[in-house]
Amino acid sequence: MCTAISYLDSDHYFGRTLDMPRSYGEELVFCPRAFDLTLRSGCSLKRHYAMMGVAHVAEGYPLFYEGMNEHGLCVAGLNFPESAPNEMVCKGEPAPQFELIPLLLGRCKSVEEGAALLRTLRLTGEGFSPAFPPSKLHWLLADGKRALTVEPTQEGWKLYENEVGVLTNEPPFPHQLTALKEYMHLSAQPPKNNFSRLSLSPYCVGMGAIGLPGDVSSRSRFVRAAFLKENSVPMQTETERVVQFYHILSGVEMPLGCCGVGAGQFEYTVYTSCMNATRRVYYLTTYAARQISRVEMPKDADGEALVRYPFPKAQLYSLS
């Protein structure tokens, strides 16, 4: 369960919540141009665009959850367990799910190039290892000019223009868009009396949004994130814009205990990311550490080794 958004406010901001029952040792990882991304097909991306994202590094290989590249292209994978196929039966170069983000960020400068690359690929059911079986995902791909929802089917890719700039989980994206039509009457402004000729007026602020779903289901989070994003006002500084981005995503975060998944386990927001894809800066908060950490993409992008930034483990406090 996750929520991702693509947001324009002077710069292009892109990020997501990762909602899981546990952490898998995620880190912020910078992958320079000369890091050898060996593919299961036997080919090797020995030269590619530099990229930075949250990943679990297994056997020296970055298993990216989301990221951006040096040209500002961003992508995030979100759980899509009911609709995603085990593998595709169409024609195309085979690509396991864990290679998709490195391929898109390593080879493409824009959404247009990403869409063209996807049309040449066939998703396979191969996992990285027995410890890391394949996940069933769909993806949000954005470059500041366009956003696409990328959904796999057995017969091939479905690419949807995503003008909302929001993606959650099930159901498939067209059904999520249809859900927005049920909330067209909502507004950030006080409601008007359309009920009758009776003299009726609001008794408090915020009543224009009565009916906005507040549960943590993926459909409700889609509607809520879209409402919060679309009604967000422009900010003046980088710090203000990043804080505003985090306030938008805070509306869909999951506190531990509110989303049970059986056997005493609960999904919760393990981390929340925000990328300024225009300036190539990554921001992070975790469940345990609410202060915003900031890392710039290294300017020396020609190295061969991964650069790894461990997540903050605990909240920091200061007293004046």
Q: Which residues are catalytic?
A: 2
The crossing angle, in degrees rounded to 10, of helices 173-180 and 218-230 is 60
Per-residue burial over 2-38, b if 16 or more Cβ lie within 10 Å, else e, is: bbbbbbebebbbbbbbbbbbeeeebbbbbbbbebebe
Residue 206 neighbours by CB under 8 Å, 6+ apart: none
Distance CA 231, CA 7 (A): 12
* 296 three-class SS: strand
> Is the backbone peptide bond immediately before 21 cis, with ω within 30 degrees of 0?
no
Sign of the torsion formed by the C-alpha atoms of 271, 275, 280 and 284: negative
Q: What Å distances lie between residue 264 and 170, 253, 255, CA to CA? A: 23, 20, 15
- Nearest by Cα to 170 from 131, 221, 219: 219
Amino acid identity, residue 25? Answer: G
How many Cβ atoms from other residues are within 10 Å of residue 312's Cβ? 17
State how beta strands 93-96 and 121-124 pair: parallel
